[in-house]
């Protein structure tokens, strides 16, 4: 039996640049099933475990136990975890580090690496933005594409994007 100790982002590089344009894509209706949701704002290091998402159908692999010895996984007992990553400014090259215990040994696996990182760019103020729901044309008119409104803005602990 394996158990997970932690899931954390690791930043390999940060470049002080701003995007020249941006695309927000919305999957539309019929969202995913329940998952264990982790959120991180790379600029501030704010990391929160949101617990189980409340939307979508029940998912037996979405597990609420705290990370540690009670959060066990195996080939027969998977765990669905979603990590939402936000950046307020600049280009981040990062990975997600998973620390776990298997056969009594502490092990680490990182998704993304310095030579092949995950990437995200922040800094939307003053940037020309385009919008689309998957499968629909790209538009400059957010109201026509997203009647539900703007996705939540990443913030630090004080509610401010730096």
Q: pLDDT of 31-77, one tens digit each?
A: 556 778 888 888 888 888 888 877 666 777 777 788 777 777 777 77
What whole-number distance in Å separates Cα of residue 134 and Cα of residue 120?
Answer: 20
pLDDT of residue 49: 86
Q: Is the pLDDT of residue 155 over 70?
A: no
Does the residue 23 lie in any domain?
A: no
Does the residue 116 lie in any domain?
A: yes
Per-residue tokens: 13: 């590089």
85-106 pLDDT, tens digit per residue, is 888 888 999 999 988 888 888 8
- Minimum mean pLDDT range among 11-15, 28-32, 51-55: 28-32
pLDDT of residue 116: 96
Q: Is the pLDDT of residue 10 over 70?
A: yes
Does the residue 80 lie in any domain?
A: yes
State the residue for tokens 């600029």: 43
> What is the residue range of 77's domain?
2-16+32-122
68 vs 16 pLDDT, higher one: 16
Does the residue 66 lie in any domain?
A: yes
DSSP per-residue letters across 97-124: EEEEEETTEEEEEEESBTTB-EEEEE--
The percent of residues in the chain predicted with pLDDT above 70, rounded, is: 77
CB 15 within 8 A of CB 90: yes
Does the residue 130 lie in any domain?
A: no
Q: Is the pLDDT of residue 1 over 80?
A: no
Q: How many domains does the chain have?
A: 1
Tell me the C-alpha to C-alpha distance, in Å, between residue 144 and each of 26, 30, 124, 132, 150.
13, 19, 20, 10, 12
pLDDT of residue 151: 46
Mean pLDDT score, 113-131: 85
What angle (nearest 5°) sits at the alpha carbon of residue 30, between those of residues 28 and 34? 115
Per-residue tokens: 137: 């044309």
Does the residue 147 lie in any domain?
A: no
Enter the pTM of the model. Answer: 0.74
Does the residue 8 lie in any domain?
A: yes
Q: What is the mean pLDDT of the chain?
A: 77
Does the residue 156 lie in any domain?
A: no
pLDDT of residue 35: 76
Q: List the beta bridge partners of residue 10.
A: 95
């Amino acid at each position: 039996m394996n158990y997970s100790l932690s899931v954390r982002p690791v930043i390999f590089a940060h470049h002080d640049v701003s995007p020249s344009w941006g695309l927000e894509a919305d999957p539309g209706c019929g969202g995913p099933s329940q998952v264990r949701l982790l959120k991180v704002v790379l600029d501030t290091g704010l990391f929160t475990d949101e617990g189980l998402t409340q939307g979508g159908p029940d998912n037996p692999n979405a597990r609420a136990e705290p990370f540690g010895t009670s959060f066990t996984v195996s080939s027969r007992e998977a765990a669905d975890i979603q990590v939402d990553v936000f950046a307020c400014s600049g280009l981040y090259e990062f990975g997600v580090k998973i620390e776990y215990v298997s056969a009594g040994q502490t092990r680490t696996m990182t998704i993304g690496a310095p030579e092949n990182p995950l990437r995200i760019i922040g800094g939307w103020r003053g940037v020309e933005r385009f919008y689309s729901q998957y499968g629909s044309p790209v538009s400059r008119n957010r109201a026509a594409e997203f009647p539900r409104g703007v996705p939540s803005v990443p913030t630090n602990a004080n509610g401010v994007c730096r």
